[in-house]
């Protein structure tokens, strides 16, 4: 007589916030799947719903609370985890029916809460999961988290309060995970942490064996080894410490993508000082020039905060002039927003909302013009592009060049590309450009 398997409980997941949160969600789901749980793509089919929250900004907190409320309304059985778990009392005051609240990267606690809320029937046949784990991103790219927490104490940020000080992962563990991801189909590894440049400073004297060699826990050594594993390796959240200079030759060699995501935040010295960030904008300009001499195709992306308390019109104009000189490839900006618990909330010189909006618009107009000019210069070139989506009916496709990270940068739109597949890396002749995107066709093979 055939064995009838018990029905495994189903778990739904709502993942909010940054890619680091997405990695946490993947790890939680991977553990639950290995324990035998099934995954539900909707509220109705889930025995319990996890909401992985973001708590960085007040607006993000409100979005998290709205997501919790929706999950309770649609399902009723909700477990909350993530950055906003630090404010359990706020969550429970608003939603007393929440089953459990855990903090960021508390994997064991949230998995334990799921086991309590929806116990798994004992069965040796239900514990199945791929070696690479479960992914919430497309098969061909994966976020690779190399550390947790941050040692900086920026005035506008509460990440250390949410996630603690820097804790680096062992390099051999990171490289082993990278190998599994690539074996499962990953073509592009997106290296993330709160401060990628600081990777390993807490375990610097603990080198590990990897493939018969010793690997030092340092950003440069790790990037070099990752470049041997994956076709594309992209570095995010890189603070411009002096040792970042040693990564640029790896980009020139093709081991690492010529791309750096550096959160400059501002350029005016007084604003940087108030933000409690290094005020070395002049030196940075010189280093950008040196990096471009070593690796002419390097793309620099950054984010900036406008309307920080005390920011004067002179400070903002200094930033605008600095951007003219820096000629960054990709820029995002945020209007300053108070975050509960941040030191910046108590600073004098609050900037009126209408001034923030006006400065934000001016900054985005300038950076769009810089981006447009840089993209126009690429017309006629042949660039490698990773394919993210294909429309077989129209024959079109979209992908990204080496200068474009998923979801935050531009895209490359292709014609005559219906024969391609997601994850293919193809040579594309660039035919046109706008402010943020490129247009072209695959080169005939």
Please enumerate, by residue number, every residue annotated as part of a binding site for [4Fe-4S] cluster. 18, 54, 83, 150, 154, 157
> Cβ distance 274 to 308 under 8 Å?
yes
- Which residues fall in the annotated binding site? 18, 54, 83, 150, 154, 157
Alpha carbons 20 and 16: distance in angstroms, whole number: 10
> Cβ distance 362 to 315 under 8 Å?
no
Q: Does an H or E element contain 112, and which?
A: helix 107-117
Measure the CA dihedral 306/311/314/318, to 10°: -50
Q: Which residues of 272-292 are buried (b: 16+ CB within 10 A; e: fewer)?
A: bebbebebebeebeeebeebe
Q: Which residues of 414-439 are buried (b: 16+ CB within 10 A; e: fewer)?
A: beebeebebbbbbebebeebeeebbb
Sign of the Cα torsion 369, 267, 161, 150 reads positive
The pairs formed by 252-255 with CB atoms below 8 angstroms and a separation of 24 or more are 252/294, 252/295, 254/227, 255/223, 255/224, 255/227, 255/228
Strand partners, 423: none
Alpha carbons 133 and 129: distance in angstroms, whole number: 6
Of 259, 258, 348, the residue nearest 312 (C-alpha)? 348
Q: Hey, what are 373's tokens?
A: 């000019």
3-state secondary structure of 334: strand
């Amino acid at each position: 007589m055939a064995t009838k398997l018990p029905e495994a409980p189903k778990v739904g997941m709502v993942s909010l916030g940054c890619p680091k949160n997405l990695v946490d969600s993947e790890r939680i789901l991977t553990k639950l799947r290995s324990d035998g749980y099934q995954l539900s793509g909707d509220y109705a089919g889930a025995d319990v719903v996890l909401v992985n929250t973001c708590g960085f900004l007040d607006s993000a907190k409100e979005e998290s609370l709205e997501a919790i409320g929706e999950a309770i309304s649609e399902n009723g059985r909700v477990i909350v985890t993530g950055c906003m778990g630090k404010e359990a009392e706020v969550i429970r005051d608003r939603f007393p029916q929440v089953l459990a609240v855990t903090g960021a990267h508390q994997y064991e606690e949230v998995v334990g809460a799921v086991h309590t809320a929806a116990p798994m029937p004992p069965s040796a046949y239900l514990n199945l999961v791929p070696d690479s784990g479960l992914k919430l991103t497309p098969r061909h790219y994966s976020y690779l988290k190399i550390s947790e927490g941050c040692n900086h104490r920026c005035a506008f940020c509460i990440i250390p309060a949410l996630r603690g000080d820097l804790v680096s992962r062992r390099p051999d563990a990171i490289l082993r995970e990278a190998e599994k991801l690539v074996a499962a189909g990953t073509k592009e590894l997106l290296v993330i942490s709160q401060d990628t440049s600081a990777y390993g400073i807490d375990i610097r004297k603990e080198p590990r064996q990897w493939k018969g060699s010793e690997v030092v826990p340092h950003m440069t050594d790790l990037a070099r080894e990752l470049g041997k594993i994956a076709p594309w390796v992209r570095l995010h959240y890189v603070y411009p410490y002096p040792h970042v200079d040693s990564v640029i030759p790896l980009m020139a060699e093709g081991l690492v993508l010529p791309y750096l995501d550096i959160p400059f935040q501002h350029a005016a010295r007084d604003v940087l000082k108030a933000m409690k960030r290094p005020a070395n904008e002049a030196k940075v300009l010189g280093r950008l020039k040196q990096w471009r001499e070593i690796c002419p195709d390097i793309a620099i992306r950054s984010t900036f905060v406008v309307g920080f308390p005390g920011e004067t019109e002179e400070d903002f104009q200094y930033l605008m002039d600095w951007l003219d000189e820096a000629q960054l490839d990709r820029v995002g900006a945020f209007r300053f927003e108070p975050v509960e618990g941040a030191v910046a909330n108590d600073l004098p010189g609050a900037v009126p909302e209408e001034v923030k909006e006006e400065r934000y618009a001016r900054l985005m107009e300038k950076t769009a013009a810089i981006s447009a000019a840089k993209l126009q210069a690429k017309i006629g070139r042949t660039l490698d592009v990773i394919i993210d989506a294909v429309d077989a009916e129209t024959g079109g496709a979209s992908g990204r060049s080496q200068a474009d990270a998923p979801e935050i940068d531009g895209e490359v739109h292709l014609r005559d590309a219906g024969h391609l597949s997601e994850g293919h890396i193809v040579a594309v002749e660039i035919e046109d450009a706008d402010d943020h995107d490129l247009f072209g066709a695959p080169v005939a093979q």
